[in-house]
Amino acid sequence: MLNKYIDLSSNSFYYLLVALAALFAAYFILLFLIRRLGKNPKYVLPIEAVKKVSAPIGLILFSIFLRLDSLRTLLNLSDYAYYFRKASTLLFIFAFTWLILTAIKIAKHHIIGKYDLEASDNFKARKVTTQFNILERIVIFIIIILAIGFALMSFESIREVGVSVFASAGVAGIIIGFSAQKLIGTILAGIQIAIAQPIKIDDVVIVEGEWGRIEKIMLTYVVVKIWDKRRLIVPTTYFIEKPFQNWTKSSADILGTVFLYTDYKVPFDALREELTNILNNTDLWDGEVNVLQVTDSKANYVETRALMSAKDSPTAWDLRVHVREKLIVFLQENYPESLARSRVSFESSLALNQPKNESESIVE
């Protein structure tokens, strides 16, 4: 019954069998090589990648199989050669694009997996993660656009229409270019962030007066996670065009400050000693900076600054509020006269003729 549709005695049948055997052999040889490479830790390709790349590789080989003349001759479909070739071309473009995107994702997960974002000193991990996340989206976008372009240009009728449209649409192209100026600028800003890295994933920043961490860096916008769990959505151009604070640009450690406004009677040596005791009795302090200085003096008070260090900005915040509370309690309990106060001078109306130095009294 099969002979009615396929001539098993023709040379095309044997050519097809040889080609099919060669394609199967190539398929299994490629998978074998991928498995061997995946077992070697020196290579980027992990062993789990075999399942992910096997499907697109199989489709690529199948697209080559569709293009064989012997297949059409054997099936008596030689008149449909155009459709076979177009189907083969489109399938090849789709499968090859799928293979490239899969390889990009495999490489990204393998490289990023070597770094721990949860570590206390995660500067390198944040830098690598930021670069790969942004560049991955850019490359995927470009590859998909190119794949769609190649697929459309494979049709001669579409190619001719496209050339005529582009040739007669100069004014429209200028208008569209001006309209897409902001979009293009935003995309270029995303590329610049990936290369120059003014911000990275998990950086601590001050944006629009809000303290938060960089949660996501997309191609056109950045998500900042505010300390109270709100999300601030900022375009990527903001971090290129406007000034902002980045507390973890080069390292996570940071200095914290506590300002006290006290009376002139405050004992500075006792205050320094108490600051040292407070820092030694907390795990929030990293043991590096411990300074107390008189930074200003006014008519009614003295400004004193306590400077301390912590491993990162959230810890520095907790350390600051802890030190501020303990120093205030220390002054309240031991030196209440050191608290800032106002002095008012009263002059008795019944003693206006008396010497001024005898009639003036100080009330605190």
Predicted local distance difference test score (pLDDT) of residue 107: 79
**pLDDT averaged over 10-residue windows placed end to end, the chain, 364 residues:** 49 58 70 64 59 78 74 66 81 88 82 72 73 80 82 69 48 53 75 83 87 86 89 90 84 82 90 92 90 89 91 86 93 87 61 48 40
Nearest to 13 by CA among 79, 88, 69: 69
CB 111 within 8 A of CB 44: yes
Report pLDDT for 43: 55
Q: pLDDT value at position 363?
A: 41
Phi, psi angles (nearest 5°) of residue 300: -110, -10
- What secondary structure does DSSP assign to 278-313, as a single string? HHHT-TT--SS-EEEEEEEE-SS-EEEEEEEEESSH
φ, ψ at 313 (rounded to 5°): -65, -40
Q: Confirm whether pTM is higher than 0.85.
A: no
Looking at residue 364, its pLDDT comes to 42
